[in-house]
Structure 1
Amino acid sequence: MYKLLLLVVVFGSLALHARALFETTYHSSPLTVQPFTILGRSPLYDPDDTNLFLVCPNGGAVAAPGPAIYKSSGELVWANSTFGNCYDFNLQTFNGQDYLTFWVEAGSAAVGRMGAATGLMMNSNYEVVMTVSAVNPEGTDLHEFKIVGPENKTALVTAVHTIPMDLSSIGGPVNGWYSNGVIQEIDIATRTVLFNWTTFDHIGLGESYNNISQTGQGSTEGNPFDAVHINSIDKDSEGNYLISARHSQAIYKIAANGTILWRLGGKMSDFTAVGNGTEFHWQHHARWRMDDTHISLFDDGAAVVIPTVIIVDEPVATGKLLKVDQEAMTVSLTKQFFPGPTRNYTTAEGSIEFYGDTALVGYGFLPWTEAYSFDTEELLFSAVVGPNNASLWNKNAGISNYRAFQTSTLTFTGHPTRPPNVSVTDGDIYVSWNGATHVASYTLLTGSSVGNVSEIVTSVPKSGFETQISAEGTAEFIAVAAVALNGTTLGKSAVYNMTDGSITSV
């Protein structure tokens, strides 16, 4: 086994330098966002640029965190920084309708003071229409918000609750404190808790790889011992639950009555490995696949024990698909996807998801998003949240993205309720429409009075999030119409005064 203990010093100046240098701003929009930098793209990958990537940049180098959607070309489609720190941004189905879902911290400015962290559900107008919260004194944890198929009426969420506990059996204090991991299944419509399960009742302290003497955890309520650290929940077709526990480096199958049916990985694994590559360390995002015959997971290979210490069990983080034979109790490696930019471990977070004939791997604390051919495991697409500057996250600092998910303009159509934004700057006109997914071109209109801005000056193809249009040929007032590929007008801006760029009507 590859094992290495690294001492790392992360300098505070890094975040300030990156924040000032790398975020993108626009003339027509107040957004300040990290770029989605394309590192490599096969000509065969998404030739029509219909794929949409859902990310939530976080970290010291992110001045304005929040959910964001990008195209395969790197073009920003939608972002909203009023939510603050968010995780697990995805498109999921509830009661037959698709919703953008994600977790936010307490007190998001976009939804008012909520009192506890929670999961949000947004419609295609980017309006928050529902929330999902664990029934737990300390709110909902960031690690999971999964709507359960095929019924799509309930959600799986994680929570933590700090409780007193005798930790003397592992070298901690008798009057210690324990971070009790909680998983719940919630009926979304009624907010009823259908299933509640805790690590305190079922997983012994001895299963943990988190060294209490090394971390110094457990002596105070503010710094409890994090023995298990649940970071994902799934459910199989028979109603059993599957959880990933980072600090015991194991995946657990749990019956509906709460009994642990088996463990995969960790110190007490019930499975025999067949072949190489089945080991995983500090893993994330375990999911059932292929009619519950396989499990996919993101194998981080390493973890941050305390801010200045990293434990490395594997030199490279990968996405894995494991075949799990629950009769023979064997596990074997079916697929493994390796990172393209640099072969490196990841100290936290990460995901693997499948879309058609591709696998999408998000590398978490290394903010890479990469797509692979499922059949050949060939890397087809590689992008990074932030600039193409490896020094920014050389030591897993600066920018991270908890999980990477994907949808398509063929599946999701964004209908922002606000009109396109326009800016008149230095004799040119800049237009953007945050969240509109199907704009093909912009038509510049003009007129000599506010009530008659209908003369077409020019039509230009949409070019990125913000499109620049020459103001030549305009009269005193202008407006801009957003047009779809079939010629349909999708929306129209307010009327602007060319003299000073002010809005004269809505």
Structure 2
Amino acid sequence: MRWLFSLTVAVGAQALFEQTFRSSSVVVQPFTILERSPLYDPHNTNLFLICPNGQAVAEPGAAIYKSNGELVWADSSFGNCYDFNLQEYNGEQFLTLWVGAGSAAVGQQMGFGTVMLMNSNYELVMNVSAVNPEGTDLHEFNIVKPENKTVLVTAFHTIPMDLSSIGGPVDGWYSNGVIQEIDIATGDVLFNWTTYDHIPLSESYNNISLTGQGFEANNSFDAVHINSIDKDREGNYIISARHSQAIYKIAANGTILWRLGGKMSDFTAIGNDTEFHFQHHARWRLDESELSLFDDGAAVFISTVNVIDEPVATGKYLKVDQEKMTVELTKRFFPSPNSNYALAEGSVEPYGDTVLVGYGWVPWVEAYSFDTQELLFSAVIGPNNASLWDGGIGNYRAYQTSTLEFTGHPTQPPNVSVTGGDVYVSWNGATHVSSYTLFTGNSATNVSKKVARVPKSGFETKISAKGSQNFIAVAALAANGTTLGKSAVYKLSDGTIA
């Protein structure tokens, strides 16, 4: 292994790049499209779910974008968030996201928070948390299919531990990785497993002499760093451990059945490129014959020590033969037009006949053909600015849905702003608006005269107020002309609500 020392780029003093709007208080990063195949999502129905974080993100929060870069919904009211996804629970779709304090990259800030479940009205329905003194860690909230009634979560608990075998103190401190399966309805813990009980310190690639961890309770030694959990149909668990660079299969009784990767791998490689470094988001695919994962190729320990083992981060599919105990690379997805390793985070998620790869610490979101591995779509969260790609802007995981599957129904009406004789309208979270109609009238109680109907153009649409009377209102229409919602009535003179 090659250890490299470098300070992460300080971008706090640089200009911030958030987008702002006249009609809404929403503040978001731009979603910059770099490459797009004409064959990819021709009707712009695909939706990307992301949670930008980093030193250059003044207002972190969740956001949904279309594949043309258009913002659909954003909310920064809950602050720091990770792992924004759309999942099914008990027969209903919910937006799920972790909220709290912490960072996915640095061991001692791995998160003390909870997970929110929101309905299609963007209303909080419930919170779900691990049973753990430090709360729920940000790395995983995976609702178990096909029952969709329980969830896999990660947590970390600081405990005293003898670290002298790896050059640390006898009376040291250890960051104990915890995985739990929880009944969502009751909050009962159905399975609880810890790294302290099962993974020896010798498997870790974290170097205590370099990171200085383990000497204080508030800087405990992060030996394993669990960042994903999956479950197979036989009831066994798959965990990804970044700091031991291994994937573990764990039986329902807690026994480790095998290791893939790391210092004690049980598998023999067939062909090249089966190895992975500081990986994230390991998931069973293709009837549990293959594992997908994001191969970061690098890692950041604490906030100032970087390890680079591979020059480029990639998404991978590995064929895992559990009878012959062999592993073989079947698919690999390379970034383009930019190329780099990722120091943390990342995801690989199939969607239809495509695969979406989120590059984590590097804020790229890219879609590939599953069959050919050809790049179909490439975007950057924020501007296409390499100086922001080392902690400036990142996104833990990227997920995808579409307006054909998810319909957002915000409970608030469309927002309107009147500026310089023009009307600006937006409706945060409405996924199926096709056009807006401007109405006017001389009385606040009778605003029914149609002034103009204009196509929706991005998150915020501009309409000329020419021909309007003293009061205005705006209606949002679907493609078939159905009215989806109507704004309040506004005074044209000063733009206040009548």
**2:425 aligned partner:** 431
Matched, 1:344 2:323: no
Instruction: Describe how 1:137-156 pairs up with structure 2 within 5 A.
Output: 137-156=133-152
**1:23 aligned partner:** 18
Q: Give the conservation status (yes or no) of the 8 Å contact 1:18–1:392.
A: no
Partner SS, residue 136 of structure 2: coil
- Aligned pairs, how many? 490
Task: Find the aligned partners of 1:11 and 1:41 in 2 and give their Cα distance.
Answer: 30
Task: Find the aligned partners of 1:93 and 1:18 in 2 and give their Cα distance.
Answer: 39
**1:451 aligned partner:** 445
Give the gaps of 5 or more residues in structure 2. 103-110
**Counterpart residue identity of residue 16, structure 1:** A
Aligned pair partner of 2:393 in 391, 399, 402:
399
**1:329 aligned partner:** 325
Q: CA deviation at 1:392?
A: 2.0
Q: 1:63-84 CA distances to partner (integer Å, 9 max, x unpaired)? A: 1101000000000000000011
Aligned pair partner of 1:6 in 4, 13, 16:
4
Q: CA deviation at 1:7?
A: 2.9
Give the gaps of 5 or more residues in structure 1. 108-114
Partner SS, residue 200 of structure 1: helix
Task: Find the aligned partners of 1:242 and 1:67 in 2 and give their Cα distance.
Answer: 27
Matched, 1:90 2:85: yes
**2:57 aligned partner:** 62
**Counterpart residue identity of residue 266, structure 1:** G
Matched, 1:317 2:313: yes
Partner SS, residue 13 of structure 2: helix
Instruction: Describe how 1:473-488 pairs up with structure 2 within 5 A.
Output: 473-488=467-482
**2:182 aligned partner:** 186
**2:39 aligned partner:** 44
Task: Find the aligned partners of 1:101 and 1:138 in 2 and give their Cα distance.
Answer: 20
Aligned pair partner of 2:461 in 460, 467, 492:
467
* TM-score normalised by the chain length of structure 2: 0.97
Q: CA deviation at 1:32?
A: 1.1
Partner SS, residue 91 of structure 1: strand
Task: Find the aligned partners of 1:424 and 1:485 in 2 and give their Cα distance.
Answer: 25
**1:132 aligned partner:** 128
Q: CA deviation at 1:123?
A: 0.1
**Counterpart residue identity of residue 34, structure 1:** Q
Q: CA deviation at 1:11?
A: 4.9
Matched, 1:390 2:386: yes
Task: Find the aligned partners of 1:490 and 1:157 in 2 and give their Cα distance.
Answer: 37
Partner SS, residue 360 of structure 1: strand
Report which stretch shifted further, 169-178 or 97-106. 97-106
Instruction: Describe how 1:225-236 pairs up with structure 2 within 5 A.
Output: 225-236=221-232
Instruction: Describe how 1:366-385 pairs up with structure 2 within 5 A.
Output: 366-385=362-381
**1:111 aligned partner:** none
Q: CA deviation at 1:10?
A: 3.5
Instruction: Describe how 1:279-318 pairs up with structure 2 within 5 A.
Output: 279-318=275-314
**Counterpart residue identity of residue 387, structure 2:** S
Q: CA deviation at 1:6?
A: 3.0
**Counterpart residue identity of residue 68, structure 2:** S
**1:502 aligned partner:** 496
Task: Find the aligned partners of 2:62 and 2:23 in 1 and give their Cα distance.
Answer: 20
Q: CA deviation at 1:116?
A: 5.2
Q: CA deviation at 1:9?
A: 3.0
Task: Find the aligned partners of 2:58 and 2:13 in 1 and give their Cα distance.
Answer: 9
Task: Find the aligned partners of 1:208 and 1:373 in 2 and give their Cα distance.
Answer: 35
Q: Give the conservation status (yes or no) of the 8 Å contact 1:106–1:118.
A: no
**1:112 aligned partner:** none
Q: CA deviation at 1:106?
A: 5.8
Task: Find the aligned partners of 2:7 and 2:163 in 1 and give their Cα distance.
Answer: 30
Partner SS, residue 117 of structure 1: strand
Task: Find the aligned partners of 1:297 and 1:122 in 2 and give their Cα distance.
Answer: 27
**Counterpart residue identity of residue 5, structure 1:** W
Q: Give the conservation status (yes or no) of the 8 Å contact 2:9–2:392.
A: no
Partner SS, residue 378 of structure 2: strand
Q: Give the conservation status (yes or no) of the 8 Å contact 1:185–1:194.
A: yes
Q: Give the conservation status (yes or no) of the 8 Å contact 2:80–2:101.
A: no
* TM-score normalised by the chain length of structure 1: 0.96
Task: Find the aligned partners of 2:477 and 2:487 in 1 and give their Cα distance.
Answer: 12
Task: Find the aligned partners of 1:229 and 1:299 in 2 and give their Cα distance.
Answer: 15
Matched, 1:417 2:415: no
Task: Find the aligned partners of 1:143 and 1:52 in 2 and give their Cα distance.
Answer: 22
Q: Give the conservation status (yes or no) of the 8 Å contact 2:408–2:429.
A: yes
The percent identity for this pair of structures is 75
Q: 1:383-402 CA distances to partner (integer Å, 9 max, x unpaired)? A: 01101222221xx1200000
Matched, 1:77 2:75: no
Matched, 1:408 2:399: no
Q: 1:329-369 CA distances to partner (integer Å, 9 max, x unpaired)? A: 00000100001132211000000000111000000000100
Segments ≥4 residues shifted beyond 4 Å: none
**Counterpart residue identity of residue 363, structure 1:** Y
Partner SS, residue 32 of structure 1: coil
